[in-house]
Structure 1
C-alpha cells in the first residue's frame, strides 16, 4: 500500500516531508521505483498576473496542454487563469465548476455593470431588480416599464418615475430607492474612473453582497469569493470609462464565441480545485496560491484544521507524475486592492534541498485577509480604486502601516517628487506627474509610463524604483 506507481521519487520526497508533520496520521512513507525525475520547482512570483504568465510560459515551451493541471484551493482563483489563458491562446477546461463568468453570482454582479453601461439593457434590469427580493412582482415591473416612452427607454429613469409618481406601493418604492441611489453614485464614480470603487459600491448598496453572504452562511457555499474576484478582475483593467466598456465588450465577445461549444469537452489544461483531484493524475501539475490566508486558509490556525489542509496539500502534490511546480505570489488582490502576501507555512515544512527555488519571498508581508473579508467603503476619498493603489486593510491594517513607516524618509521629504523618473517591473520607465494628499493624510502620486500607461499609487506603498539622472 505504500508503493506509489504514479509519481517520481523527487515528487514523493516533497509530499512525504509535508505529511509526516500530521500527528494523527499512521506513519508510512510512499515510495516508488521511478527514481528519475527533476526536483519540483518553487516560483516566487510578483502577483496573480505574473503567476498566470509563469505557468503559461512553461506550458507553451512544449505545448503539452492535455496532461497538465493547475490546482488551486478556491474556485474563485480560476478567473485569473481563464482570462489569462484566453489572452495567451492556451486551451483549458474548468473541471468541477462552471467557468467563472458563467457562475450565478458573477452574472448577477455583471448585470449591475451592464445596466450601468447601458441603461436600456432590459435583460440585466430584470435580472437584478428583484435580487435580492424587493417585493417586486411582474405587475410592478410592467408599471415601471410603462414609463418607457417618456423616459426614452432609460430603465433607471423609469424606475425613478415609478417611485416619484406613486405607481409603486410604498413598500416596493422603499425597496428600490436604494438601488436608484446606488446607480446615481456609481455614475459619478465611473466618470472619475474609479472602477473598483463603483463595483464594490454597486454590489454593497444593491444588497447583492449581503444576499450572497447569507446564502453562503446558510448553504456552506463560497459565492462571495467569486464576487470578490469579480472586483479583482475589474481592478486589472484600465481605470477609465474606456477601460470599463472594453472589459464588458470583451466579456460579451467571449460569451458569443463560446456559445456553440462546451470547453469542458475539449482538450486543454485542466483548471481544478485541490479538493476535486482525488483519484486523478497528470504528467504536470502546478499548485498555485501558496500563501498564508489562502492556503492554508484563514481557518487553518487550529491544529485540526491545519492537518486537514495539509492532507489536501499532500493529495495535490501526489497528483503529479513527472513535473511539479509550486507558485507563491508576493502580492495579491482582495476586493480590488493589493495585499502583500506571506508565503504559505507549508513551504517551510518542505525539507531543504528538495525544491529548486526561483525568486525571493516577499519581505515584511502579512497573512492574506481572506475572500470573505468585506470590502471597505471607499466612496468619497480620492481618485484611487485602480489596481495599483496599494492599501493596508483588514484587521491587520494598522499594524501593517506602522511596520512600514520606519522605512520612510523624514517627514516632509517626498519619496517620489514630481518630475522624478521611476521604474516599475510591469510598466517600465515613467515619470511622476502629480502628487497630492488624501483626506486620510496619505500622499498619492500619479505616474505617466513611457509605454502609455498612467497609474496612481499611495506613495509609501508604491512598487517603484527611482532612476537617478
Structure 2
C-alpha cells in the first residue's frame, strides 16, 4: 500500500487520476462504504459517487444468538421474493458456516458453498464425529477413520488383519482389535493400538451404562467434558495443533461450541447430539442452479450480487481477533469495504450476542459504527448499555494500537536523545519497533515505537 501512496513522490512528474464513479452499488450502500473506509488513514482521500438509482439503506440486525442470526438471514432471503441465485451470504472465516448451513437445511433452502467445503464435510469435523460415534455405536466406518488418525503405526497389513478377523467372527472391527490385542499382544507391539483402546474405553466410562435405570443425563458440562476427553486422550487435538492450521482449529472450536449449546437442554444425550449431526451429514441434496451462494469475503473479491448479507459483524470475528497492529486493522477495514461494495441493490448486516469460540462475550463490530448508524436502518433498536460497552472496548483496543503505530518510514532520518542521528532501516509493525543505523555506530539497533525520536 505504501508503494502506491508514495508513487507520486518517487515519480513527481506522474499524473494521478482518481476513479470516483461507482457503477455497481446503490447510493445508500456507497454512502455506508465511504463512511466506513474514511476511518483509514493510509489511503488516498477520495469519495465514490454512485451512478445507480437510489435504493434502501443497508439493514442491520443484532441477534440474540448465532442460530437466531442465521434464521433471520433465511427469513429475509425468503422475504426478498427473488430467485435464490441473486443472493450471497458473506463471512470472514470458514467456521462461521455451521449455523448458516443448519438454518438453510432446516428451512429447506438450497445453498452452495463457493471455494470451500460444507462444515460437517470438513476433515477435522468428520474425524471428531467418528470419534464420538466410537463411544456409542463403534461402527466400522468410524473405526477405520479414527484408528490411524493421528498415526498409530497401524498400516494396511494390520488393518486388513483386523477386517478379516472381524468378518470371520461376525463382530465389529473395534471388537476384533480388542480381541486380537488381548489374545495376541505381539501383533500390535510398537503401535498405538493399546492407547487407542484405552482412550475409547476410558471416555466410555463417562457415559451412562445401558443397564442402569438411573436417569443419568449429559448436562452441558458433561457433553463438553466427553468431547474434550476424547480429543485429549486420543491425541487428536494435539495432533491438529502440530499442523498449525488455524482454520481447522477454528472449526474444532466452533464444533465444541455447538456441543456446549446442545448441552443446554437438560435432556441432552450424546446419542441425541449425534442424531442431530446426522441430519446435516446424511443428506443427498441435488445441485441446483438456483441457490444462495455462501462464501468468504476474500473469495467474493471481484464478484457482485443484487443482494448481499454479511454475517458475524462482531468484534473478534470481523475484525478478526488475530488483528494486532494498526496496519492490520486498516487492511481488515478495507476487506469490510470490499464486502459492502459487493452488493448492488440491498445490503444486510448482522451480528449475534453470546460467547465467541475463545469464550469472550461478543460485541457489535467497530465496522458497524464506522459505517455510521445514520447510514443504516436498524431492524430493532440497539440496547444503549450494549453500545456503550462495545464502544468502550473498541476505544481501548484502538488506544492500544495507536501506541503501536509507526511515526516513521524506512529511509527517514531521525534523532535519538541518547544515540544521536540515524537512518530508519526497517519498520517492524508486529514488534512495534524500528531498526535504525545510527551515525558512527557499526551495529544497527532496535528501537521501540514509543521511544522519543525526532524527525530530521
Q: TM-score, normalised by structure 1?
A: 0.69
Is contact 1:143–1:167 with CA below 8 Å preserved after alignment? no
Q: Which of 200, 225, 232 pairs up with 2:228?
A: 200
**Structure 2 partner of 1:136:** 154
Query: Tell me, what secondary structure is at the counterpart of 1:322?
Result: strand
Pick from 72, 82, 103: which aligns with 1:54? 72
Q: Is 1:223 matched with 2:248?
A: yes
What SS does the aligned partner of 1:179 have?
A: helix
Shift of 1:154: 4.5
RMSD between aligned residues? 2.8
Q: How far off is 1:147 after superposition? A: 5.8
Cα displacement (A) at 1:242? 6.7
**Residue deviations 1:368-392 (CA, integer Å, cap 9, x gap):** 9xxxxxxxxxxxxxxxxxxxxxxxx
Structure 2: gaps (5+ residues): 1-18, 209-216, 395-456
Alpha-carbon deviations, 1:162-185, whole Å to 9, x = none? 44441434321xx23333233224
Distance of 1:288 and 1:258 partners within structure 2? 27
**1:77 offset after TM fit, Å?**
0.6
TM-superposed deviation, 1:152: 6.7
Deviation at 1:305, TM superposition (A): 1.0
| CA contact 1:190–1:240 (8 Å) conserved in 2 | no
Q: State whether residues 18 and 346 of structure 1, in contact with CA within 8 Å, keep that contact through their aligned partners in structure 2.
A: yes
Structure 1 CA distance for aligned equivalents of residues 121 and 282 of structure 2: 13
Query: How many residue pairs align between the two structures?
Result: 357
The answer on 1:288 being equivalent to 2:311 is yes
Indicate conservation of the 8 Å contact 1:143/1:162, yes or no.
no
For normalisation by structure 2, the TM-score amounts to 0.71
Query: In structure 2, do the counterparts of structure 1 residues 325 and 189 end up closer, same or farther at CA, with 3 Å as the change threshold?
Result: farther
- Alignment deviations for residues 44-66 of structure 1 (CA, whole Å, 9 cap, x no partner): 11110111111122122233222
Counterparts in 2 of 1:367 and 1:214: CA distance versus 1, 3 Å: farther
The answer to whether the 8 Å contact 2:37/2:333 transfers is: yes
Q: Kindly tell me: are residues 339 and 189 of structure 1, through their superposed partners in 2, closer, same or farther at Cα, counting changes over 3 Å?
A: farther
Question: In the superposition, relative to structure 1, how do residues 95 and 28 fare at CA in structure 2: closer, same or farther (>3 Å)?
Answer: same
Instruction: Decide which structure has the larger Cα Rg and report it.
Output: 2
1:278 to partner: Cα distance: 0.7
Provide the rounded CA distance (Å) in 1 between the counterparts of 2:223 and 2:168: 30
* Distance in 2 of aligned mates of 1:296 and 1:22: 14
Which residue pairs with 1:389 in the alignment? none
Aligned to 1:83: 102
Pick one of 39, 48, 56 that aligns with 1:21: 39
Residue matched to 2:375: 354
* Contact 1:71/1:271 (<8 A) preserved: yes
Q: SS of the counterpart of 1:275?
A: coil
5 Å-filtered alignment, 1:65-464, equals 65-119=84-138, 121-145=139-163, 148=166, 153-165=171-183, 166-172=185-191, 175-191=192-208, 192-193=217-218, 194-215=222-243, 217=244, 222-237=247-262, 243-249=269-275, 251-252=277-278, 254-258=280-284, 261=286, 263=287, 265-334=288-357, 339-357=360-378, 358-360=380-382, 363=386
Shift, 1:286, TM fit: 1.2
Q: Tell me, in whole angstroms, the C-alpha distance in 1 between the residues paired with 2:357 and 2:148.
A: 28
CA displacement, residues 152-205 of structure 1 (integer Å, 9 cap, x when unaligned): 725444434444441434321xx2333323322432344341223222222232
CA distance 1:294–1:258, change in 2 (3 Å): same
State the distance in 1 between where 2:224 and 2:116 align.
26
Question: Does the 8 Å CA contact 2:105/2:280 hold for their aligned counterparts?
Answer: no
Q: 2-side partners of 1:367 and 1:163: how far apart?
A: 56
> Which sections of structure 1, spanning at least 5 residues, go unmatched?
369-469
Is contact 2:60-2:377 (8 Å) kept? yes
The match for 1:414 is: none
